[in-house]
Amino acid sequence: MASTSLFSTDDDPLAKALQPPPDESPDDRALRLQQQKEAQAVSHKIDERIQEDKKVFDRRKKAIKILLLGQAESGKSTTLKNFQLAFSPAHFRNERAAWRTIIQLNLIRCIKRLLEVLQDEWAQSVQPPRPDKGKGVAGRAPPAPTVRFSTSPLTDTHRRMRMRLSPLLSIEAELTRTLFPEGGDRVQDVCVRAGSGWKGLLAAVAGHAAERERRPGTADRAKNDPTAVLDACRDDIVALWEDQVVRSVLKKHNVRLQDMPGFFLNDAARIATLNYEPTDDDIVRARLRTLGVEEHRFTMESGALPGSEWYIYDVGGSRNNRPMWIPYFDDVQAIIFLAPLAFNLMLEEDPKVNRLEDSITLWKEICQNKLLSKTTLILFLNKMDILQATLAAGIRVNKYVPSYGDQPNDVAHVTKYFRDKFRGYHKRLSPQNRAFYWHETSVIDTRSTAAILVGVREGILRAHLQSVNVI
């Protein structure tokens, strides 16, 4: 028996509305059918988009998410680059062109700081003119002397070298404005805004420079291209940095350029060339400050579960950026917390606050946060190379951390003291029991960091699979 509808077409308002008008002409009918076809196509595209969004959502939900935390200059961005280098090398290689410009800018910044010190030396060493011992015209004072003299060991040769290097300063200003337009002249570091697409922008800049190289007779090439200008200045850069008089002036002004983030003056002869290509170590050492939260997605190319998706969030560590951390707390499997053992340094944004004390305060807040009760916390006691150099220079820990007392002032005892501090707060403040993972790191050392990250990755992956009941 054929089924019958409970309602007739006359009782269905929608069906009635869709009925063609009784006096519809052939042209009106063709137009109506065309409009229906277009509406169906739009509806189909919307359905496809919804399905794609659902797939992305499901894939993202299954992905492993890591949050890198720590104060500014703790090594978060360097750790991210090590992750990419170790587990997604193809992705890492694709970004090499952008990092070439960043490294060149780092080198130019070091040169700029060196030239500033030389200028300060000239300014401070100029002495008042010696009084003229000769007699003037009767009844008049002797003419005012016009000759000043300098006590600086710097010579006219250094002045000429400085003048020849001055075009680099305009290059530095232009690149800085390109990367961080809203910063104006106030930017004191190599900065980018998260989500600004700076890698694509710099890759385009490098492409335009390469195109100018291929064109004969481009007059603006040397003026605007950092590669060409650095190549032209290479001999002066190397000579100035290796000059012993310049080294003595730097020491006199208590400036250690080699301690600057993004220090590349020792590599100037290699970097300041037309055919320079960054090495992996160059990229890892490059200094770039991220403002805001930047999401990095990559596919694991090797190791356990190749093809799995990972998201790593690199967040700004300065104090005004820290409120941005909280929205990410309820959606990450692991936090890698970087704590440089810089017991004798102060925060750049607040010179009254010790950097290590600030790291411990941050760690305590992370440990006791209830949103993170099931999150794996991994502590990197970072910059062990700087700690070793600091202790070797005879700097005493108890001068800055009185509670350290009279314990031996060596790397092993100092590291154990601070590791136990972090572990103690982790145990006392965690909302529930969880394992304590820690590593001694120097994240600019790509080889040793790669070995550490293999263990970190396996641990995160194991915890993730357990959380989704796979193992």
**pLDDT tens across the length of the chain (471 residues):** 444 444 455 566 766 666 777 787 888 788 888 888 888 888 888 878 877 766 665 565 677 888 888 888 888 888 888 888 888 888 778 788 889 999 999 999 999 999 999 999 998 876 665 555 555 555 555 555 554 556 788 999 999 999 999 999 999 888 888 887 776 556 667 777 766 677 777 776 666 655 655 555 544 555 668 999 999 999 999 999 999 999 999 999 999 898 888 899 999 999 999 999 999 899 989 988 877 777 888 787 766 666 778 888 887 656 666 666 676 667 788 889 999 998 998 887 788 889 999 999 999 999 998 888 888 899 999 999 999 999 999 999 999 999 999 999 999 999 999 999 999 999 999 999 988 899 999 888 888 888 888 888 887 777 766 665 544
Asked if 355 and 346 count as a contact pair (C-beta separation under 8 A), the reply is: yes
pLDDT at 331: 77
> How distant is the alpha carbon of residue 212 from its chain centre?
29
Q: Is 161 annotated to bind ligand? A: no
pLDDT for 357 equals 92
Task: Count Cβ neighbours within 10 Å for each residue of 73-88 and write b for 16 or more, e otherwise.
Answer: bbbbbbbbbbbbbbbb
Place of tokens 């104006």: 184
d(CA 99, CA 256): 24
Rounded to an integer, what distance in angstroms lies between the CA atom of residue 76 and that of residue 444? 11
Cα–Cα distance between 116 and 104 in angstroms, integer?
18
Residue 140 Rama label (left phi>0; alpha psi -120 to 50; beta): beta
The HSE-up count of residue 297 (CA atoms within 13 Å, CB side) is 8
Q: Distance between the two ends of the chain, CA-based, in angstroms?
A: 55
Q: Which helix (H) or strand (E) holds 385?
A: helix 384-392
Check residue 81 and give its pLDDT: 87
pLDDT of residue 261: 82
User: CA nearest 429: which of 357, 368, 362?
Assistant: 368
Residue 384 among known ligand-binding residues: yes
Amino acid at 2: A
Residues 6+ apart with CB under 8 A from 98: 198, 199, 200, 201, 202, 203, 206
Question: Would you say 243 and 249 are in contact if contact means Cβ atoms under 8 Å apart?
Answer: no
Predicted local confidence at residue 364, as pLDDT? 94
Helices (H), 243-323: 244-252, 268-271, 280-285
pLDDT at 205: 65
Q: Looking at residue 394, what is its pLDDT? A: 94
Has 364 been labeled as part of a binding site? no
pLDDT of residue 7: 47
Q: Are 188 and 180 in contact (CB under 8 A)?
A: no
Residue with tokens 């004072």: 141
The verdict on whether residue 344 carries a ligand-binding annotation is no
DSSP assignment letter at 142: P
Packing angle between helix 96-125 and helix 156-165, nearest 10 degrees?
A: 150
Distances (CA, A) of 8 to 1, 3, 131: 18, 13, 117
Residue 39 vs residues 35, 78, 350: alpha-carbon distances, Å:
6, 50, 60
Question: Which residues on neighbouring strands pair with residue 296, listed in sequence order?
Answer: 312
Distance CA 351, CA 100 (A): 33
Question: Element (H or E) spanning 336, and its range?
Answer: strand 334-340
Distance CA 426, CA 422 (A): 6
d(CA 341, CA 381): 6
The answer to whether 235 is a known ligand-binding residue is no
